[in-house]
Chain A
Amino acid sequence: MSALVVESLSVVFGGFRALDDLSLAIDAGEIRGVIGPNGAGKTTLLDVISGITRARSGRVTLGEAIDLTRSSEAEIARAGVRRKFQRPSVFPALSVRENLEIGCGAGCPPAERSRRIVEALTIAGLESQADRLAGLLAHGEKQWLEIAMVLASDPRVILLDEPVAGLSDEETERTVGLIRGLRRPDRAIVVVEHDMAFVEAVADRVTVLHEGRTLYEGAMAGARAAPRVIEVYLGR
């Protein structure tokens, strides 16, 4: 069953089409990798799904009925769609624990919240950092904290924009385990990344975007072999 359906989505900045009649369906229980060269529209796609950018046309449907193109960022988040940004976006003036507390969402009852914070701290491996200011964390720890913040709300759709950008090989490997651990039958996960090996390791299927359109959809092995994809990645 599709958890998230994107139908003929177009986004225009000035005269430039960042997304061009793009359609995509992501199943519950799936981890979908989205790859593509710089400027392909990957971040724009996540921006539309999370309500930050308005689409010129098209629809994004969550579950059976909710049309996300008509909802505010906060409504979308409360409907269970959470997102990690390309530039690590943690709140630097708050401690790790307080960041997670905010990540739980406003309506979370206190007992449930403490439980989730402990769980998120463990998953992200940040137990010993709980009371440090997030602004003082190392880059990799910020990436994990942001994923943990996303997780703390128990979302049904998780959007991750370049979760291993700037991480060491060791840290990347750890992140693979972390993301695979987020998989659940009732949860759809979208991972945008440039690191092919990483995408191959975490994703069930990949979508290759190019100039706002789908170039390929299917297994990663197939993407590596597809002539159109090779052409785009080799720059011609």
Chain B
Amino acid sequence: MNAVTGSLAATRAAAPMPVQRRYDAGLLGLVAALVGVALILGLAKPETYLVNAIGQLAALAILAVSLDLVWGYLGILSLGHGLFFAIGGYVCAMHLSAHAYAVTGTAPDVMQFMGWASLPFYWTGMTSAPYALVLAIALAVLVAFLFGWASFRSRVNGVYFSIISQALVYVAMLLMFRNDTGFGGNNGMTSFTLLFGFAMGAPGTVLTLTIVTILALAAVLIGCGRLVASGIGRQMLACRDDETRLRTLGYGTTALKLKIWCLSAAIAALAGILYVPQVGIINPRVLAPDLSLEIAVWVAIGGMGRLSGAVIGAVLVNALKFWLTAAMPEAWPFILSGLVLLVVLVLPNGLLDLGRLKPTWLSRGMPR
């Protein structure tokens, strides 16, 4: 009897694969690189437009990580993550408008467009940054909880969940396009002048905002990295690969999914909070279904199920997008589609596959 296992063990031991490898060994390196970039930016103080672009990329990378957490590790593909991003963004925009109004006395666009003498009641308290921060996160988590609870409890999974999440963001977009909601309607909110009393576009403000965003990304990566390497992370992978099996081992998967889903929404909202002051505008187009789809494309291109992959995908695709939409805007949709095809056909695990492809070519027949 032992001979059987012994011989099996011998044949199998030929190619040992350490478990740690899948815990994203690149993550620590990436976090170190991010801190390094933040330091260099702080010391070298490059051109403001460049600093601003880097800050935007970092905010979008946070958004990508939030999706990778639920998609790559839990198997829940949300095509509506723009909703949580927008909640963070809108609340941040409200705070910026209210803050500038309180300091300068210039009425925000929202009031001017609608000819209102004062802001609607739900703007109360928006001058306080801590209140706005807590509200943004709480609101995103609340919406995520209600939607997640209704879906997971009735076991809406897979493609059905994806489609419903996309419908949700679409409905939110239609709602925000209305002009009478008190959120700026079609025009959204823009011309923010002050951030914590500092001039919005000033080099120092931009630099600080970028550094804060990069450090926030590093913190999110560390937090999520620890989460996915923990016992909860193992349950997430188990749930992703076989939810029924996990349930029959005594785990309530609804609660697990709900918790991670809400956490993901909170991270997406944080990304929105950091993004809006950097681009200086928010409007209902962040709720467009195609933006939410694009987030999934970033993650797929970088390599889902790897936090560092999400960051790499978001940064590369968006850097390309920044450059191309300036150079030849009409080409962007085709390039994006081409990238998706490339990933689906050649690199099913995203760009992180590139590193693994090489040794396979060199030593033919070596197991991957």
Contact = CB atoms under 8 A, between A and B. Distances in A.
Contacts of B8: 138, 140-141
B178 interface: no
A57 interface: no
A218 interface: no
A132 B247 contact: no
A52 B320 CA distance: 47
Interface stretch (A20-28, A31-39, A123-131, A209-217): A123-131
B17 A136 contact: yes
Contacts of A94: 234, 237-238
B31 to A, nearest CB: 23
Interface in B1-18: 1-2, 4-5, 8-9, 12-13, 16-18
B249 A174 contact: no
Given A91-B241, A102-B235, A125-B5, A132 B249 contact: no
Interface stretch (A82-90, A190-198, A223-231): A82-90
Interface string A78-113: 100011010001011111001001110110000000
Contact of B12 (A72, A106, A132): A132
A153 B9 contact: no
B249 A82 contact: yes
A204 interface: no
Contact of B234 (A78, A101, A137): A101
Contacts of A177: 1
A106 B251 contact: yes
Given A78-B250, A125-B5, A133 B17 contact: yes
A30 interface: no
Interface residues of A, number: 43
Nearest to B255: A74
Contact of B22 (A51, A93, A129): A93
A170 interface: yes
A77 B234 contact: no
Contacts of B252: 72, 74
A185 to B, nearest CB: 23
A215 B301 CA distance: 56
B337 interface: no
A225 B17 CA distance: 51
A77 B19 contact: no
A186 interface: no
Contacts of B111: none
Contact of A174 (B4, B231, B244): B4
A149 interface: yes
A149 B22 CA distance: 22
A24 B42 CA distance: 74
Contact of A153 (B1, B245, B246, B250): B250
A91 B238 contact: yes
A207 interface: no
B250 A74 contact: yes
A171 B237 contact: no
Contacts of B4: 125, 170-171, 174
B201 to A, nearest CB: 46
Contact of A125 (B2, B18, B234, B242): B2
Contacts of B5: 125-126, 128, 174
A171 B4 CA distance: 7
Nearest to A107: B250
B249 A77 contact: yes
Given A93-B238, A140-B8, 18 more contacts: A50-B248, A74-B250, A77-B249, A82-B249, A89-B242, A91-B242, A101-B231, A101-B234, A103-B249, A105-B250, A106-B251, A126-B5, A129-B12, A133-B19, A136-B12, A138-B8, A174-B1, A174-B4
Interface of B: 1-2, 4-5, 8-9, 12-13, 16-19, 22, 231, 234-235, 237-238, 240-242, 244-253
Please provide the 6 A-B residue pairs with the shortest distance between their CB atoms, ordered closest to farther: A77-B250, A125-B5, A73-B247, A128-B9, A91-B238, A95-B19
21 contacts: A52-B248, A74-B248, A89-B245, A91-B245, A93-B22, A93-B238, A94-B238, A95-B19, A102-B246, A102-B249, A103-B249, A105-B249, A125-B2, A128-B12, A129-B9, A132-B16, A140-B8, A170-B4, A174-B1, A174-B5, A177-B1
Interface of A: 50-52, 72-74, 76-78, 82-83, 85, 89, 91-95, 98, 101-103, 105-106, 125-126, 128-129, 131-133, 136-138, 140-141, 149, 153, 170-171, 173-174, 177
